Amino acid sequence: MINIGVIGYGYWGPNLVRNFRALDGAKVISVCDRDKEALERVKKEYDTVELLTDSRSITDSPKIDAVVIATPVSTHFELAKRSLENGKHIFVEKPFTSNQKEAESLIALAEKKKLKIMVDHTFLFTPAIKKIKEIIDNDMLGQLYYYDSTRVNLGLFQHDVNVIWDLAPHDFSGMDYLIKEKPTAIVATGSGHFHRDLEDIAYITVYFDSNIIAHFNVNWMSPVKIRTTLIGGEKKMLVWNDLETDEKIKIYDKGVKIDNAESMYKLLVEYRSGDMWAPRLEHVEALKTETKYFLDCIRDNTVPINDGHAGLRVVRMLEAADKSLKKNGSLVKL
């Protein structure tokens, strides 16, 4: 039985508690939050969980085997460090840390202590990403050309981070998982509308040594959500619309050969050039899969796909994007 303590019961915390509780082999024994109202909500739902306001009661507790950290990013490093020092595995909300140094330091500490770090890149455990991974690994798309993601919604303006730190971690972690090659440079542009210094719209281009190109459109200023990713390859192209109910993933054949003027003109007025295929996806909660995987990695001593290094790679991209953004699109090497 792995005893779990959860720090932070805001937006995401309740989902973490619910999923960890439902697992065989784990027990959520304490939840900590500075906010009394949050603890009231825990109490109402789960009467047997210990309620705490001081995070040390979790990070330093001898009863706890693993700490789930679901607090603002600025506090991750401190809480993670204390947990690791006290011999606990950690499950940390994304983004992993506020900067690369913190991430590197936590990775080193966990390795020394032989403890697991899992960064909550929930995205990687969605049925959609799992299917896309399978499609790419089976070389159905052929050599990859581009990864182009749009993530748009109404944002949360009391944040202390800009839209890149809020929205891009999802897509950066997805790209990091799906594309084997590692990026080499970043260009970011953007604008702030409520606070000039807190960008609420940003456009990020990621270069690779090969001619793959990735692009991320993140935007907090839209009353309607958009969640679309295009992944183009030599053979086929995949469109992932995460808001579709039953056709989240569509794969398009190239279809036609363009060999003369007439076939070109014809193509110009058509909507697509080949057949489309939409694989059925399982309906499983990603966090259910991920929390179970956390327990498995601890028990079997395996390295998670979303370990500290994956978290670090995402943080590195976030820092680079932010730096380029401040310089209106200057290229920043990774």
Of residues 177-196, those binding a copy of itself (CB under 8 A) = 185, 187, 189-193, 196
Closest CB to a copy of itself among 86 and 241? Answer: 241
For residue 273 the two structure tokens come to 């050039």
Q: Cβ of residue 187: shortest distance to a copy of itself, in angstroms?
A: 4
Of the listed pieces 80-88, 107-115, 254-262, 301-309, which binds a copy of itself according to CB under 8 A? 254-262
Q: Please report which helix (H) or strand (E) contains residue 195, including its range.
A: none
Closest CB to a copy of itself among 160 and 277? Answer: 277
Q: Is 265 in the site for a copy of itself (CB under 8 A)?
A: yes
Given a contact cutoff of 8 angstroms between Cβ atoms, the answer to whether 32 and 57 are in contact is: yes
For residue 12 the two structure tokens come to 């995401």
The backbone torsions φ and ψ at residue 213, rounded to the nearest 5 degrees and listed phi first, read: -135, 140
Closest CB to a copy of itself among 90 and 178? Answer: 178
Q: Please report which helix (H) or strand (E) contains residue 117, including its range.
A: strand 117-120
**Backbone torsion region of residue 191, taken as left when φ is above 0, otherwise alpha when ψ lies between -120 and 50, otherwise beta:** beta
Q: Is 72 in the site for a copy of itself (CB under 8 A)?
A: no
Considering only residues 195 to 224 of the shown chain, the ones binding a copy of itself according to CB under 8 A are: 196, 201, 203, 205, 207, 211-213, 215, 217, 219, 221-224
Closest CB to a copy of itself among 16 and 237? Answer: 237
Task: Return the CA Rg of the chain.
Answer: 21
Closest CB to a copy of itself among 115 and 144? Answer: 144
Among the listed residues 27, 113, 272, 288, the single contact to a copy of itself using CB under 8 A: 272
Q: Is 108 in the site for a copy of itself (CB under 8 A)?
A: no
Closest CA to 85 of 113, 118, 56, 114: 113
Q: Is 253 in the site for a copy of itself (CB under 8 A)?
A: yes
The contact mask relative to a copy of itself for 7-26 (x = CB under 8 A, - = no) is ---xx---------------
Given a contact cutoff of 8 angstroms between Cβ atoms, the answer to whether 5 and 30 are in contact is: yes
Buried-state track 138-150, b at ≥16 Cβ within 10 A, e below 16 = eeebeebbebbbb
Closest CB to a copy of itself among 104 and 285? Answer: 285
Q: Is 229 in the site for a copy of itself (CB under 8 A)?
A: no
Q: Is 255 in the site for a copy of itself (CB under 8 A)?
A: yes
Closest CB to a copy of itself among 157 and 302? Answer: 157
DSSP three-state, residue 78: helix
Q: Is 95 in the site for a copy of itself (CB under 8 A)?
A: no
Considering only residues 135 to 154 of the shown chain, the ones binding a copy of itself according to CB under 8 A are: 145-146, 148, 150, 152, 154
Q: Is 46 in the site for a copy of itself (CB under 8 A)?
A: no
Specify the pairing of strand 117-120 against strand 236-241. unpaired
Closest CB to a copy of itself among 108 and 267? Answer: 267
Of the listed pieces 88-96, 267-275, 288-296, 300-308, which binds a copy of itself according to CB under 8 A? 267-275
The backbone torsions φ and ψ at residue 192, rounded to the nearest 5 degrees and listed phi first, read: -110, 135
DSSP three-state, residue 136: helix
In which residue are the tokens 């969640």 written? 227
Rounded to an integer, what is the distance from CA 133 to the centroid of its chain? 15
Q: CA–CA separation, 218 vs 272, rounded Å?
A: 27
Residue count, binding to a copy of itself (CB under 8 A): 74
Q: Is 280 in the site for a copy of itself (CB under 8 A)?
A: yes
